[in-house]
Amino acid sequence: MKRHNYFAIAIVTALALSVTSFFTGCSKKEASVRPQASPTPTEEIPDFHEDSASNLGHWGRAMGSVLLYINDGNPYYFGGYEENENNKKGAIDVLSASWNINSRKDLLKQIKKLLDTGDRAAFLEEAKDMAAMPPKKLKTALKQLSGELLIHYKEVKYNWKVWGKRGLLAWDMCRISHLAQWGHIADYITLEEAQALIEPAAVKLKKQFDSWDDVQQNWLDGFCLYAAIDRKLNGNEYINRKTIYEKLKKDQPQNGALYDDALFQEKIIPLSSVSYRTILDEVAKKKPKKKKKGKDKKTQDTTAEASPSPEV
């Protein structure tokens, strides 16, 4: 789904908005390649494949459940798939084709971007610009649009009306879960690192929502905006995903429920073995060191000749 030049021209002339490239990376179609699914753990002897001393695995499984299920993954098994060579290749293919992620560094950079800005940053800019327009002028301008561009701005308006500043938050945070789990199966990060990377996303969700119904609906509404889907049409991917969530929720066992709203009331328990901060520090831009005042010329010359530390 590419954003053509006439889209930007139409917005400048018809809406007089300061347009940001919201659809940047829209070619990142989620999980077009499907790894082989792992067997479903039995209800009697649950094996969630996660650190039982932490609840980050549970957060991650619930956040990524619908998309993993669509791609033949097991939402009750952190990572979604067994760790074997076939699934490793499948996960590598998914990350490369859908996200242009081909290494550990690529994966961590994309997760950090979703945490910091994601798609919600551009959404907020567009939503605020539209909200600042006189209603009559906005209505007239929207009538001049059609196709995906019209759907896009209708969805911007809808998400702003329903969610306000929380718009697309779950859309961005749930995709962190997808990337962390696929990244683990692709062997870019360890199982412990994948769970640890869920923590900052879970913190944001816990702060802004109090139920999985709201989180999943926010994710679905973000998907409609991202993919320019008319939610009113029958049989579209929005309806499909919503139906899957409702099915998963209905079928979940009482013991070991997938969508446990109690998580929003409980403390988030990090892993003791690794911190997401340490992991993301690998791709954090380091600020250049300030030169100390009062250095003599010899010291200054030595400093100038030294090779700069590589950015990581």
State the pLDDT at residue 145. Answer: 95
- Whether the per-residue pLDDT at 5 is higher than 80: the answer is no
Q: Which two tokens stand for residue 235?
A: 């049989």
List Cβ neighbours of 259 (8 Å cut-off, separation of 6 or more).
62, 65, 212, 248, 249, 252
- Whether the per-residue pLDDT at 311 is higher than 50: the answer is no
In a domain, 19, yes or no: yes
In a domain, 250, yes or no: yes
Mean pLDDT of 191-198: 98
- Whether the per-residue pLDDT at 210 is higher than 70: the answer is yes
User: Domain total for the chain?
Assistant: 1
In a domain, 36, yes or no: no
Residue 136 belongs to domain spanning:
5-29+58-283
In a domain, 35, yes or no: no
In a domain, 50, yes or no: no
In a domain, 208, yes or no: yes
State the pLDDT at residue 200. Answer: 98
Least confident of 57-71, 144-158, 228-242, 291-305: 291-305
Least confident of 20-29, 70-79, 150-159: 20-29
State the pLDDT at residue 290. Answer: 64
Burial-class residue 9 by CB neighbours within 10 Å (0-12, 13-18, 19+): exposed
- The string of pLDDT tens digits covering residues 241-282 is 999 999 999 999 988 899 999 999 999 999 999 999 999 999
- Whether the per-residue pLDDT at 40 is higher than 80: the answer is no
In a domain, 235, yes or no: yes
In a domain, 228, yes or no: yes
